[in-house]
């Protein structure tokens, strides 16, 4: 199943200019991660070395190579969110459990600080109490 998804994703983007990032983004979106086993296949299809593909995957913190064990909550730790209480939110999210908490540095939601993303859902003006409601 995963192999089929990787193959079809590569085929869909292979003819584009600069297909590596679109392939990685689509795999991350579809599977929730980029399987390590897919890196050689991607490298071969794009005529890149494994090191080049690994370098791109490891450079961008957005990409993960392990399947998340719980829903992923990305808490913005950039200046605007920090000024509006992101540190308190970060501590609360880590203590809450039930989700995999990751730091990100700008979600583009500065006007709604502090912000986070739960999966693909943006959450603005988030407080620890609202986070409890969202996480259940």
* Residues in the annotated binding site: 76, 81, 106, 110
d(CA 11, CA 20): 12
What DSSP designation does 55 have? H
Residue 95 burial class via C-beta count within 10 angstroms: exposed 0-12, middle 13-18, buried 19 and up? exposed
d(CA 83, CA 100): 23
Helix (H) or strand (E) holding 91: helix 86-96
Q: Are 130 and 103 in contact (CB under 8 A)?
A: no
Token pair in block for residue 24: 């990685």
User: Which parts are annotated binding residues for [2Fe-2S] cluster?
Assistant: 76, 81, 106, 110
Question: Which of 61, 73, 62, 72 lies closest to 128 in space, CA to CA?
Answer: 73
């Amino acid at each position: 199943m995963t192999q089929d998804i990787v193959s079809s994703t590569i085929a869909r983007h292979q003819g584009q200019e600069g297909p590596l990032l679109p392939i990685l983004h689509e795999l991350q979106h579809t599977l929730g991660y980029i399987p390590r086993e897919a890196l050689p296949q991607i490298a071969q299809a794009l005529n890149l070395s494994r090191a080049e593909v690994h370098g791109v995957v490891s450079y961008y913190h957005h990409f993960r190579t392990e399947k998340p064990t719980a829903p992923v909550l990305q808490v913005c730790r950039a200046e605007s969110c920090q000024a509006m209480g992101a540190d308190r939110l970060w501590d609360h999210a880590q203590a809450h459990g039930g989700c995999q908490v990751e730091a990100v540095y700008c979600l583009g939601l500065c006007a709604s600080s502090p912000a986070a993303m739960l999966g693909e859902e943006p959450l603005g003006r988030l407080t620890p109490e609202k986070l409890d409601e969202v996480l259940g």
